[in-house]
Amino acid sequence: METSEKILTNVKMPFCPGCGHGVGVRSTSKALENLGYGSKDVVMVSDIGCSGLVDPLFATHTIHGLHGRSPALGLGVTLGLDNSNKKVIVVQGDGGATIGLQHILEVSRRNVDMTLIVLNNLLYGMTGGQMSGLSTSNFKQFKHSDDNAEPYDIVNLAHNAGAAFSVRVNNISNFENTLKEAIETPGFSLVELSSLCTSHGMKKISELKSYIEEEEKFTNDRPVGVSLKRNTKSLLENTKILKPQYKSTITESVGVVIAGSAGGGVQSAAKMLAQAGILSGLYATMKGEYPITVGTGFSVAEVILSKKPIYFSGLEKPSVVLAVTEDGWIKVKNRIADSSKVYLDAKIKTESFFEYDIKEFLKEGGKKGAALGAISYWLDKSKIFPVEALLKVIEGSKYEDSLKKAIKSAEKFKELVYVNR
């Protein structure tokens, strides 16, 4: 362990005046320092909510995840770290603990060597003071809540699921000693810390005591969960190495937006374009966007091709827009810049007053080949690098014949007209 650096930064606490989360943060840092941990020995994992504001407060490694999912992230980090001199500390609120309860039970079941701190202020503070699964019955009555269900006993649940150490602490002035005990315990430890929410809950500790559950503490004598060690091949072993074989005319960078419908091969076509760019000596990035439903609606991909290293993959003003279906066009039409070159399928309806090139991408390339055909057509027209680079990418693919057919479909577009509005 290294102990030359403080656990906390000099960043001002972001919490409301009187909020109990600040006490929990300071107690955590003191406990870690007194146990000999330095900033590089600790990974702090948090998620959404007031408790998730801790990231800039710790001078440690930090990970920020989705609401309730921080225990799952911490589990993965702990198993991957596999180092007894390092410590993973997960912080979440009672709202996050409610939403991600299954993750807490899973970590307890596996009993990995990490500590979860639940800052329980009895409510969802960031969204207006709604009740959580850890809001006590007395507190619900005080808030005139219609929810009359008994709260979860997160401490007991973690114990029954297999946690090595689980405890509830109500004495705010004595968090540090309990946290030290939890962190020192081999295996999974959960510490529920009572916390004030002065905006939506209690403003004084003396008031809070009337609404919180009694302290409790449980231990389990179990072996610490560890990751299963296996000798496996590197994931990179079968990765195709792309070495430049072609030349490009690009002097700076080109940003391409490819827009179509789900199931139309937009994402795979964009990936092939990026790979063809690499084969042509360029740097390339590719990212996709599509709805949660995946199988219906739009599918949009962005590809940046550049002569220089790419440090930001965002594409605010595309150089080229290739839209092969109405779904895709509706999604991207408001992103057209004055300098954008636009290529549309003949079936797309538009009243836009700019220059665009109409081609029958769908008719000639088919539903799954339209995007690739559009890319092939644009490459042939722009001459930024040879279409042969695209053909080279698909060599050896089990879909090589159909992909080649889609690329070759661009040859049929030449007799169609160019529209200027």
Domains and CATH numbers, the chain: 21-219 (3.40.50.970), 253-420 (3.40.920.10)
The torsion angles phi and psi of 24, rounded to 5 degrees, stand at -65, -40
144 conformational bin, left if phi > 0, alpha if psi -120 to 50, beta if neither: left
The torsion angles phi and psi of 154, rounded to 5 degrees, stand at -65, -30
Per residue in 321-361, pLDDT (tens digit) is 999 999 999 999 999 988 899 999 999 988 766 678 889 99
Q: pTM of the full predicted structure? A: 0.65
Categorize the per-residue pLDDT at 235 as very low, low, confident or very high, splitting at 50, 70 and 90: confident
The torsion angles phi and psi of 79, rounded to 5 degrees, stand at -65, -35
CA distance 377 to 385: 12
SS3 88: strand
Q: Residues 257, 258, 263, 269: is their CA dihedral positive or negative?
A: negative
CA distance 304 to 174: 54
| Under 8 Å between Cβ of 277 and 303 | yes
Please give the mean pLDDT across all residues of the chain.
91
Per residue in 248-299, pLDDT (tens digit) is 999 999 999 999 999 999 999 999 999 999 999 999 999 999 987 767 899 9
CA distance 270 to 268: 5
The torsion angles phi and psi of 8, rounded to 5 degrees, stand at -90, 150
Per residue in 90-144, pLDDT (tens digit) is 999 999 999 999 999 999 999 999 999 999 999 999 899 999 999 999 999 999 9
CA distance 205 to 195: 9
SS3 130: strand
CA distance 219 to 53: 30
DSSP state of 225: B
Query: What's the burial of 38, exposed, middle or buried (CB within 10 Å: 0-12/13-18/19+)?
Result: middle
